[in-house]
Structure 1
Amino acid sequence: MRKIYLPVILFLVLSCSACVDIEERYSFKADGSCKVVYGFDMSRAISVLMNLMTDSVRATPEFAVAKDTSLNFYSAIPDSIQLGMKKEDIDLAKTSELSVKMDLSKKLMKVNISHVAKNAAELEYYLKNISKISQNSQLSSITKNKAKKGSIETQPLITGQDYYIYEVTPNRFRRVVDKIKFNEFLKKTQSTLVMAKAMLIDMPYKVVLNFAKPVKKVNNPKAILSADRKSVTLVTDMDEIIKNPAIMNLQVDF
């Protein structure tokens, strides 16, 4: 898919993300590698989006686009941004994949960003920097335009969740919410969250961690450990997170 299609896709992501199902999935392998997938499923939100748009907007070519494609994340970043990127960030982007399944006529909209980290150190670097790279890509350039009346400004919801402090070792996955950064996130997204709540829109959030060997310890009482002790699942929503950010703190020893 050429870069010309990315603004269309990301516009839809930003428009729908206040009512998106978000899932983070980590698959830790025996060799120390880990595949990370950030999934954004906006299928159930398409009808809400359509209700916000006028007939003239719905009739534009952008809303007739149907895509089922994958592309290298680096190739989706504008050339002007690529020139200013550090080597480490270039390598990170080149080893990440952006997958899109979109057909508005069928109310289908799913976006995945995936990456395979070779070891714990690479995974920690990825988790600490992927949000920043996304903010510097076309994700942020789209939102520089003034939001249309009645639209939902959601760029921070997709790329601004850098309020976690990560620690990843060969035997531990740990993240803690940075309260200062989280409060900054709430200030940036306040209007979006208020509008979403007024429209009775929720924002489910799910984290799944799969391991090659049994987990020794999980420190979050809300997290569910599978019967074979090889999978940890944490399910919540943005409303619950706002009330108690610590609910997203998670440490897994394995």
Structure 2
Amino acid sequence: MKKILFLLVLTLGITSCTFTEEIMINPDGSGKYILQMDGSAFMAMMPKDSVSGSMGKSIDSVFSFKKILEEKKDSITKLSLKEQERLKKLENFKMHLKMKEDSKEFLFSLFSPFSSVAELQEMTNNIKELNALDKKTQSIGPMSDIGIFGNNGATMNYTYNGKKFTRKAVANQSQQKDLKNDSLNSYQMIFESSKYIVKYHFPKAVKKVNNPTALFSEDRKTITLEYSFNEYRREPEKLNLEIEFVK
């Protein structure tokens, strides 16, 4: 597990990646959240047999977050009750890692169902806390690295009432300052070539969206927007959305 997550972080430092934030919303407001990283370009650069030699055979595995939390329960008890509650609310998350040398695939995804958009908002805001919590205890371990991929120093707010959907990122100035000084900044050129894609699926056709660059599916129930990863990290408000649906 440590080697796997180390490789994910290493990927960020070697080549460009594509990150996709995907949300599927059902008519009752429940749905599924997926955060995916496609590092296949990294695999294409790796020398032949280097992956199998260092990691073993090709991997296509799903890891239960609940199981990881259970394995780390002794370390987690060192956290405050509030922090322990944050982690418990992530129990439904699972991680999927697919790494195949022959087809040059390297896909990592973090996903979970949600019962309401309010729950989705809480989940996404708790993900980014993982890395911060590990810095406090230095005991949660490699699962804390997951928080790096979804953290841009902003608090996420989602609303959905069947007529309108909004996605609003509120930047935390203190965390934004930390991002400007963090160790990942040595990879600015790589981040600039990396993409952050927002892809949302709705039960109704979209009437209008406040972002003119949005692309629509044929039935107008799916919208897709593409940004540079640097925009996602440095200007989270650029990804704010307001969507109205056909009645």
| Coarse TM-score class (shorter-chain normalised) | 0.7 to 0.9
Q: CA deviation at 1:134?
A: 5.5
How far, CA to CA, are the matches of 1:220 and 1:32 in structure 2? 23
In the other structure, the counterpart of 2:168 is 175
In the other structure, the counterpart of 1:211 is 202
What are the equivalent positions in structure 2 for 1:100-249 lying under 5 Å apart? Answer: 100-104=97-101, 106-133=103-130, 136=133, 141=141, 157-171=148-162, 172-178=165-171, 180=173, 181-188=175-182, 189-194=184-189, 196=190, 202-239=193-230, 241=232, 245-249=236-240
SS at match of 2:152: coil
1:62–1:170: structure 2 CA closer, same or farther, 3 Å change rule?
Answer: farther
Q: CA deviation at 1:9?
A: 1.1
Amino acid at match of 1:251: E
In the other structure, the counterpart of 1:17 is 12
Which segment drifts farther, 221-230 or 32-41?
Answer: 221-230
Asked if the contact 1:72/1:97 (under 8 Å) is kept, the reply is yes
Cα root mean square deviation, aligned: 3.4
Q: CA deviation at 1:211?
A: 0.3
Tell me the TM-score normalised to structure 2 length: 0.76
In the other structure, the counterpart of 1:82 is 76
Amino acid at match of 2:33: V
How far, CA to CA, are the matches of 1:233 and 1:46 in structure 2? 26
How far, CA to CA, are the matches of 2:11 and 2:140 in structure 1? 15
How far, CA to CA, are the matches of 1:217 and 1:59 in structure 2? 46
Q: CA deviation at 1:207?
A: 0.6
Unaligned runs of 5+ in 2: none
Asked if the contact 1:10/1:139 (under 8 Å) is kept, the reply is no
SS at match of 1:86: helix
Amino acid at match of 2:31: C
1:140–1:205: structure 2 CA closer, same or farther, 3 Å change rule?
Answer: farther
How far, CA to CA, are the matches of 1:115 and 1:93 in structure 2? 8
In the other structure, the counterpart of 2:55 is 63
Unaligned runs of 5+ in 1: 1-5, 145-153
How far, CA to CA, are the matches of 1:127 and 1:193 in structure 2? 24
Amino acid at match of 1:208: K
Asked if the contact 1:140/1:155 (under 8 Å) is kept, the reply is no
- Sequence identity, in percent? 21
